[in-house]
Amino acid sequence: MLLELKELNYKYPGSVSDVFRDLSCRVTEPGFHALFGPSGVGKTTLAKIITGEIGGFDGEISTRGTDQVLYTFNLERLPGWHTIQEHLQAITPAASKDKIEELVESFGLQSCLNSRFAQLSLGQQNRTNLTRYLLQDFDLMIMDESLANVDEITKEKIILKIKAMFPERCFLYISHNVVEVSKFCKQILVLRSHHKKPQAVSLQGLDLRDGRALEKMALEQSMLEIVNAA
């Protein structure tokens, strides 16, 4: 069991309405999974509860075998006193140093290495931020819109690379893009309004990997299931 939430209840301090009411779901195996749902349904809140950034909830969260949980979001910035290369060298554990070059090349960041973060485009900034997280030790990584502002072709390349490089790790990819979620994710947790029962529905995605062909019918079926569930 990588992650299990049992009857989670939460409302923000001072708020009268619940964010989660008896929310239960589980992720049982490693892979590239998705947390999908409409805006404001509580995806980021759930991510922060899982990482421990938000407390004061009722219910149970079990992360047995998942010691290191990282959460990354798309507005993060790197300190301005380093170039990208200097920063990556400074924050990468010794065991992952050899991955820097591979990730930088796969994510198309070679031309950014001598620049500072503020000098990059939004897409380059998000790719750089994700790269430094992937270089850390983690068992579960929650990626909150981490590939926003990245073009579709590069995004596909990046997701396939992540799946190929980290097959034993668990990812929870927060996105509003139903196509990429259906196409690339293994398990899709669809988060719904607290008025709906159950609040989270688990669906199977196509889990596309490098070299495999995509079945158009299966993709359409998966997308339809996700939209209906949401």
Partner 1 sequence: MLHRRIYQFLIIYFIGLTALMLVKYSLNLSDYTVPGVNEIWNTYRRYFGLYLMAVLNTLAVAILGHILSICMATVVGIIGRLTIWVGSFIRVAAYNIQAYPIVAVAPIIFILLGDGLSSRLLIAAMICYFPLLLSFIGILSEPVAEIEHFFDSTLRMNWRLQVKIRAFENIHKLVTVIVGSATLAMVGTIVAEFIAANAGIGYSIRIALYQSDLAKILVALFLIGVCTSLYLVFLEWLGSFIKKRFGSI
Residues that bind partner 1 (CB under 8 A): 51, 70-73, 75-81, 91, 116, 118-119, 129, 132-133, 136
CB of 146 vs partner 1, minimal distance in Å: 12
Tell me whether residue 134 or residue 208 sits nearer to partner 1 (CB atom): 134
Question: DSSP assignment of the chain, as one string?
Answer: --EEEEEEEE--TT-SS-SEEEEEEEE-S-EEEEEE--TTSSHHHHHHHHHTSS---EEEEE-TT---EEEEETT----TTS-HHHHHHHHS-GGGHHHHHHHHHHTT-GGGTTS-GGGS-HHHHHHHHHHHHHTS--SEEEEESTTTT--HHHHHHHHHHHHHH-TTSEEEEEES-HHHHHHH-SEEEEE--TTSSSSEEEEE-----TTPPPPHHHHHHHHHHHHHH-
Which residues on adjacent β-strands are paired with residue 8? 23
CB of 41 vs partner 1, minimal distance in Å: 22
Tell me whether residue 28 or residue 119 sits nearer to partner 1 (CB atom): 119
Tell me whether residue 55 or residue 211 sits nearer to partner 1 (CB atom): 55
Tell me whether residue 68 or residue 221 sits nearer to partner 1 (CB atom): 68
CB of 75 vs partner 1, minimal distance in Å: 5
CB of 77 vs partner 1, minimal distance in Å: 5
Tell me whether residue 133 or residue 166 sits nearer to partner 1 (CB atom): 133
